[in-house]
Amino acid sequence: MKYISTRDCSIQVDSAQAIAQGISKDGGLFVPQTIPQFTSQELQSMLSMNYQQRACVVLGKYLTDFSEQEIAESVQAAYSTGFDSSDVVPIVEISPKEQIMELWHGPSCAFKDVALQLLPQLLTRAVQKTQGASKSAILVATSGDTGKGALEGFAGVENTEIIVFYPAGGVSRVQYLQMATQVGDNVGVYAIEGNFDDTQTAVKKIFTDPVLNQLLAEDDIQFSSANSINWGRLVPQIVYYTHAYLELVNKGTITMGEKVNVCVPTGNFGNILAAYYAKQMGVPLGRFICASNQNNVLSDFIQTGRYDRHRDFVMTTSPSMDIVISSNLERLLFLLSGQNDTLVRQWMSELGDQGYYQVTPEVFEKLQQEFFGSFCDEENTQQTVARVYQAQNYLCDTHTAVALDVYRQYREFSLDETKTLVACTASPYKFSDSILGALNPNARPVDEFDCIHQLEELTGVPVPKQILELKGQPIRFSKEYPQEEMAQLVKTQLGIKE
Ligand SMILES: *Cc1c(COP(=O)(O)O)cnc(C)c1O
């Protein structure tokens, strides 16, 4: 199967090339030329499989230039250890309609792990297949969750260096500790002065810097990306929607073929897009409910068909969704427009030049058929954490609270009573000050671990050991650097001499 660029269908590569390269040279994103299908017998036969076996089936359909053995080994390495649940992604029912898909049981306690535990396996094999350089340098700009997920995924991986930049003071305390204490010889973590946008822009510049790329090539090293624009991060996410559907059938919650809606707290549109792909493959999914926080560029887009990035960036208590340019939306536009690369190219250049674009009436109609979008503000996020805990005895994090509130809005608006899978994207203990504050406004914890402890006392919900273990771990990376030093930091970590 070939992969094509969303901005130029004549650019065609194999899946290994798409993964090794990350992004197409014309700035477009790689997508499969045709979407593979599940037959109904196949879905039926997958009922008796475990998570890993289901992953092999889904991956096998997309990564046709990988051997069965390569896929099986990759899946085994990603999911046999590292997740604190034998299901990898367990489903918890909090009401007959609300089925919570817990995606945070991996090493960093956020949903990014499901993809980032597998990506290094796929990427190292892809680089070998495409006869790339003998060493890969993975550059990451992160506002929190991607950083730790990528560090855990790539630490100790042979012939790889992982280099993470984050905005100094711009991540939660647990996120800081997770990154600053990271072990491994091939890891580097750097706090950069400025905000996330500055860091991300500087990383993009390093990626494309011709002089630096030349220096790397002389040492047989190439840059790669672990961001969610990489197809290798999207395909592992299709797996868990397929898995979750089959689990609901196995539990008797639904019958095979019954439609299930999906509600996702959304930032870069990677997670919800994977659900859309699962539906196109034949998993019986219904409506997609896209939940934004106060940075509601996506829910506005779904309501109006106009994407407008001219708006203030708001810092919220669900920071992993604080985003104004949602890069994976480009892939949805490509699909909804009937693979119209000319239109996608035009919209993306309008977004760059004038800051907005308006999709055609045909695309807007399809968008409205498939998606519902709304947002949840800060006050409602707090109230939802408390309401869901008190009324349904479920402790959720702030991102998941945004999703649960938007789901409530959707049900009131549509009267649609279809059972719904709600993506739960982080452990509440990653954002324990917001969660404790929502449950007990009078709490005055003295520090992060006191806060975690008080939350556990109050709720009885156990703290994941990945978070408890951070206490007392030596800090390896604490220095802050000015942006101008980023390129030098990359060279130093890679041992490049000029
Ligand atoms: C990254 C992240 C999201 C947003 O996911 P997208 O795929 O970018 O839409 C939501 N919640 C948490 C906790 C995250 O880490």
Quick: pLDDT tens for 185-231: 999 999 999 887 788 888 888 988 899 999 999 999 999 889 888 99
Which of 271, 292, 318, 398 has most ligand 1 atoms within 8 Å of CB, for mutation?
Answer: 271
Is the CB of 341 within 6 Å of ligand 1?
no
Q: What local confidence, expressed as pLDDT, does residue 112 receive?
A: 96
**Closest Cα to atom 14, ligand 1: which residue?**
320
- Using the atom order of ligand 1, give the atom closest to the CA of residue 323: 8
| Binned average pLDDT, 10 residues per bin, the chain of 498 residues | 97 96 90 98 98 98 98 96 91 97 96 96 94 91 89 94 92 92 97 85 86 94 89 97 98 98 96 98 98 97 97 89 89 98 97 96 98 98 98 98 98 98 97 96 95 97 95 95 96 91
Measured from the CB, is residue 399 less than 6 Å from ligand 1? yes
State in Å: Cα 400 to ligand 1 middle: 10
Residue 41 CA, ligand 1 centroid: distance in Å: 33
The pLDDT, as a whole number, for residue 208 is 82
**Closest residue (by CA) to atom 11 of ligand 1?**
425
268 lines ligand 1 (CB under 6 A): yes
Cα(264) to centroid of ligand 1, in Å?
Answer: 9
Residue 197, pLDDT score:
74
Residue 239, token pair as written in the block = 């797996």
Is any atom of ligand 1 closer than 6 Å to the C-beta of 145? yes
State in Å: Cα 292 to ligand 1 middle: 10
Distance in Å, CA 189 to ligand 1 centroid? 21
Q: In the prediction, which pLDDT does 196 show?
A: 79
State which ligand 1 atom lies nearest to the alpha carbon of 144: 15
| pTM score, whole prediction | 0.95
Q: What is the pLDDT of residue 277?
A: 98
- Chain mean pLDDT for the chain: 95
Burial 463-491 (b: 16+ CB within 10 A, else e): bbebbeebeeeeeeeeeeeeeeebbebbb
- pLDDT computed for residue 267 by the predictor: 92
Q: Which of 29, 196, 320, 324 to mutate to test the pocket of ligand 1 (most atoms within 8 A of CB)?
A: 320
> Is the shortest distance between the CB of 321 and ligand 1 below 6 Å?
yes
Q: Is the shortest distance between the CB of 293 and ligand 1 below 6 Å?
A: no
Answer yes or no: is the C-beta of 320 below 6 A from any ligand 1 atom. Answer: yes
Give the residue, by CA position, lying nearest to ligand 1 atom 4: 267
Ligand 1 contacts CB of residue 229 (under 6 A)? no
Predicted pLDDT at 88: 96
Cα-Cα end-to-end distance for the chain: 41
In this prediction, residue 378 carries a pLDDT of 98
Query: pLDDT tens for residues 388-402?
Result: 999 999 999 999 999
Mutate to test the pocket of ligand 1, among 111, 196, 229, 427 (most ligand atoms within 8 A of CB): 111
pLDDT value for 253:
98
The confidence score (pLDDT) of residue 324 equals 84
- State whether the beta carbon of 425 lies less than 6 angstroms from ligand 1: yes
